[in-house]
């Protein structure tokens, strides 16, 4: 589904190289986790895949279902089925949560040649999805993320994911700033969306998220490269011993 090959990326303004040959392949139905110390390039990878400005790909490729992601606009990537949940979801004053999600969903449906949902159809869908995440109806009526707690913002991102039903879900440190209860709710939402047709790439610092979402593959990133891969036991090793010993062994 998602295939990243020898990806090299630098910051446009600073001419600083961040990714130095990343290789990852995530198949449909799989959950992959990327862990690594600060500054290793984890979030940069997610930004580049989603199409954020300010980065220049100097070498390599990234495809989703065989389509070159690097050659299309961010909205085209979204319509193709790529979704990015941010580490720090932004507030959008003046834009209602329901309006935002319905507009996004119908824009993607239109791009795929599908019929748009009317207000009644959309309301039924979003209420059903919100119920699984314990999202209060009043929260849906508020402007996007305005006045939300950290946990509410993250649950709202998972709700957007549940409504849009993307094929490739990238979660950039979704566990950041969450208490135990909020993290469990977010993880339950992710697990409810797991299917043979959908894949996940979880970017995280901590094993605690993976206590609730069991990955098929764990990648360790350092200095812009994937330096080691393994199963869930690799994340447990990081939790016990940190990165230092692990990185020293692959240096």
Query: Could you give the CA distance from residue 55 to residue 58 in angstroms, rounded to a whole number?
Result: 9
For the ranges 9-13, 102-106, 172-176, the one whose mean pLDDT is highest: 102-106
Q: In CATH, which superfamily holds the domain spanning 2-250?
A: P-loop containing nucleotide triphosphate hydrolases (3.40.50.300)
Q: Which residues of 153-185 are buried (b: 16+ CB within 10 A; e: fewer)?
A: bbbbbbbbbbbbbbbbbbbbbbbbebeeebbeb
Stated pTM of the model: 0.89
Q: Please give the DSSP secondary-structure letter assigned to residue 53.
A: T
Mean of per-residue pLDDT scores for the chain: 89
Boundaries of every domain in the chain: 2-250
Cβ neighbours around 94 below 10 Å, total:
8
Q: Which tens digits make up the pLDDT trace of 46-97?
A: 999 999 999 999 999 999 999 999 999 999 999 999 999 887 888 999 999 9
């Amino acid at each position: 589904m998602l295939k990243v090959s020898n990806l090299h990326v630098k910051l446009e303004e600073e001419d600083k190289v961040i990714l130095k040959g990343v290789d990852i392949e995530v198949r449909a139905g799989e959950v992959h986790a990327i862990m690594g110390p600060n500054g290793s390039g984890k979030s940069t990878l997610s930004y580049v895949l989603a199409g954020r400005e300010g980065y220049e790909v100097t070498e390599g490729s990234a495809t989703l279902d065989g389509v070159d992601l690097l050659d299309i606009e961010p909205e085209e990537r979204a319509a193709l089925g790529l979704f990015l949940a941010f580490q720090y979801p932004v507030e959008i004053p003046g834009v209602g949560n329901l309006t935002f999600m319905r507009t996004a969903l119908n824009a993607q449906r239109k791009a795929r040649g599908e019929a748009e949902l009317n207000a009644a159809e959309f309301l039924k869908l979003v209420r059903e999805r919100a119920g699984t995440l314990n999202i209060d109806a009043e929260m849906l009526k508020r402007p996007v993320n305005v006045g939300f707690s950290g946990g509410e913002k993250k649950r709202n991102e998972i709700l957007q994911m549940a409504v849009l039903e993307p094929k490739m879900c990238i979660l950039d440190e979704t566990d950041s700033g969450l208490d135990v209860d909020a993290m469990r709710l977010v993880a339950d939402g992710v697990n409810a969306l797991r299917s043979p047709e959908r894949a996940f790439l979880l970017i995280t610092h901590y094993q605690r998220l993976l206590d609730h979402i069991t990955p098929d593959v764990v990648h360790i990133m350092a200095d812009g490269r994937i330096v080691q891969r393994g199963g869930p036991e690799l994340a447990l090793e990081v939790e016990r011993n940190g990165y230092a010993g692990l990185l020293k062994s692959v240096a």
